[in-house]
Every structure is written in C-alpha cells, then in structure tokens.
Structure 1
C-alpha cells in the first residue's frame, strides 16, 4: 500500500467506550455508597436508563460542561428509578475521574499499533473533550504511538466536518491520497473521510450489514486484519 500515514478514530476503534462508560457509571455508585440492591434495581436496568438520558444530554456539549452533563444524567436516572441520594454532585465527579483513568481497549490494539508504527506515521482524530480523550489514551498507554492527536474541542470542529480532517492533514503535511482513516462510525468517520477523499477502512466491530450506498475502501471486523492488509 502507498499510504504514508494511518489515522484512527478513538472511541470504539482503539478504546472500548462502552466498557469505559460502564465502569464509570457503576464505579461512581460504589464510591458514593449508592446501593442498587437496596433499591431493588438491577445493574442492567440502571445502565439502560442512564445511557438513554446520557445520550440525550450529550447532544448539547456546547451548552454544558462534561461534569454538568453527567450530573444531569445521574439526576434524571435516579429520579426515574426512585433512588434517593444527596450524592449527585459527587457521583458526577467520581464518574469523570474513573472514566478518564480507565483505559479499556479494543482487542489487540497494542500489537496492531506496535507493528503499524514500524512502517507508517500514526495519528488520531477524535470527537470529544481534551480533558477526557488525552488522559484516557494515557491510561491505556497508547498515546506515544501517535504523531498527532486531534481532539474536536481543541480546534472547534467535530467529525464529520471536513475541517477536522483538513486540519490533521495540514499538521501531518500530507495529502488525502497519502492517508488511510480507520473508524467504527459510518455517520462520523466514513462520512467525514469520504468528504475529503481520504480512503476509509470501516472497523465493523459488530458485523453489521452496510447500507447499499456505503462503500468503504476496506472493511475489517478485527483490528488484526489491518496487519494482513498493510504488512
């Protein structure tokens, strides 16, 4: 392959977002002595309700800070499940601390990055907050692999906006033809990369059927497949 660099998405491509979030949601409850058992609520139900509110509130990241968004999610979840506590602010702080220091990765990430780094320049483009994304990469001990780590908050543009891809290309001093982008999201990663004519490798981690109009350059279900493609 003639690529000079491989650029990765972060969440659910390199880091397992669902596992990190689950650890933070339940870990904060434990830290703040909020017992689901005493309230006869299962972990599964709590997670489902929390994630429903959380996904709703995180559509407003420009309006609220991360801690405020998490606090709103706990407050709404606890109210719906009729769980009484005066620890909501502490729950938010605990969640954010755990989430930012828990580096659960997708399978084989270290091996894949170690091998690819021998022949390719590596970078990351991720939506999110600098205060979360960089510490999580550090917790996973993968930040040293990457020449550039571009976080949407830092530059004011988020995927699928073409600006965040153009910015990263300029930082690498490369053209779209010299880069491959690897990500798990058709909405953010595929749409953004294809807008700027960057070849896209779809990490189809859940083996979903693709819409007929979606045509990534490559598709993998396991990150180790990258080594078969490029080494």
Structure 2
C-alpha cells in the first residue's frame, strides 16, 4: 500500500482490519489457482478488499504487481525452522513438493536462506501435475530414486498432501500450523 501511496489512515481503516479482509479474499481466490494466474488472483483480492472497505483507487494493477514482487522475494519463517532443517538435513534427504508457482518458490526459499537444505524442489506448475494427484509424488520419488516405503511426507494440508500421499502409499506426518 505504501509503495502505491495508498493510505489506510486517510480512509479511517486500521491495518488489522485491512489485513483481515484481504486475507479472507486472498484465501478464497488462491483456491482457484488452477484457473487464474498469480497476478489475476492478487488483483481480484485487492479489488474485492478495496470494494468492501470502500477505498477508491485506480492503482489496483500497481498494488498487485508490487505485492507479487515483494511476496516473491520475502521469506517469513516460523520459529526454529533453521534448527529443525539443520538436524533433519544431517540425517535425511529432504525435498519439497509444492502446488506453488515457479516464479515464487525458489526466490522465497532463497530469501529465507533454506533452499540449500533440499535436494529437490518439485513445483506443480513446472511439471503439470498438482497435489493431490499421485503423479506429482511419483515424479518426486523418481527424481530422488526412492520408493514410497523409504519416505515420510510432512504436509500441512489433509486435502492436498494427505490425500495425495495415501494414494501412493507414502507415510504421512500432519503439520498442523494452527495447533
């Protein structure tokens, strides 16, 4: 918002209120990422948020471009991630399977300085299959030359991660971000 000189204060809206509304729309639209490009999803999120909050601007395109640029080169980490990855990487081979976008995944991992922990980074957009499709898991297994019995998959989505790995007979560990 600052980069596009849009002031929430002038509109009498707190940052918390704006973020709550934006995150609601952003979550809704990102569930449609198979249909829309990242820039379209972000633009729709801003359009809906600004409309609901009655903020008038002609800079929605600038907002979405600025957001995507900042998003792609920022890495917000949960506590102790580096310590956990250091221990795991010392004992196991690590890989990432993501339904994200190529333009975002590696730059975000580099910004967080964690890409070196992973032997493979499999991005659905790059290979044409997304979780929970078994093909994305088979692709990762093939790249790592591993069998399902040699792997444990840690994921935060029962709908995409758990549903996918159970089809391939990979053990699953659920990472519940909220609890």
Q: Is 1:134 matched with 2:106?
A: yes
Candidates 87, 99, 119, aligned match of 2:71: 99
Gaps of 5+ in 1: 1-28, 208-231
Name the SS for the 1:102 alignment partner: coil
The CA RMSD measured in Å over matched residues stands at 1.3
Gaps of 5+ in 2: none
Candidates 15, 25, 28, aligned match of 1:43: 15
The list of structure 1 runs, each at least 4 consecutive aligned residues, that deviate by more than 6 angstroms after superposition, is none
Name the SS for the 1:51 alignment partner: helix
Q: In 2, distance between residues paired with 1:99 and 1:178?
A: 34
1:125-159 per-residue CA deviation (whole Å, 9 max, x = no partner) reads: 11110101111001001111111000111111111
Counterpart position of 1:109: 81
Counterpart position of 2:57: 85
Give the TM-score taking structure 2 as reference length.
0.94
1:13-32 per-residue CA deviation (whole Å, 9 max, x = no partner) reads: xxxxxxxxxxxxxxxx1111
Counterpart position of 1:118: 90
Q: Is 1:172 matched with 2:128?
A: no
Counterpart position of 1:60: 32
Q: In 1, distance between residues paired with 2:72 and 2:139?
A: 25
Q: Is 1:151 matched with 2:128?
A: no
| Cα drift, residue 116 of structure 1 | 1.6
- Alignment: residue pair count: 179
Q: In 1, distance between residues paired with 2:123 and 2:166?
A: 19
Q: In 1, distance between residues paired with 2:132 and 2:77?
A: 23
1:24-67 per-residue CA deviation (whole Å, 9 max, x = no partner) reads: xxxxx111111111101122221222222222322332333211
Q: In 1, distance between residues paired with 2:106 and 2:46?
A: 24
Counterpart position of 1:160: 132
Q: In 2, distance between residues paired with 1:205 and 1:56?
A: 18
Q: In 2, distance between residues paired with 1:114 and 1:102?
A: 21
Give the TM-score taking structure 1 as reference length.
0.74
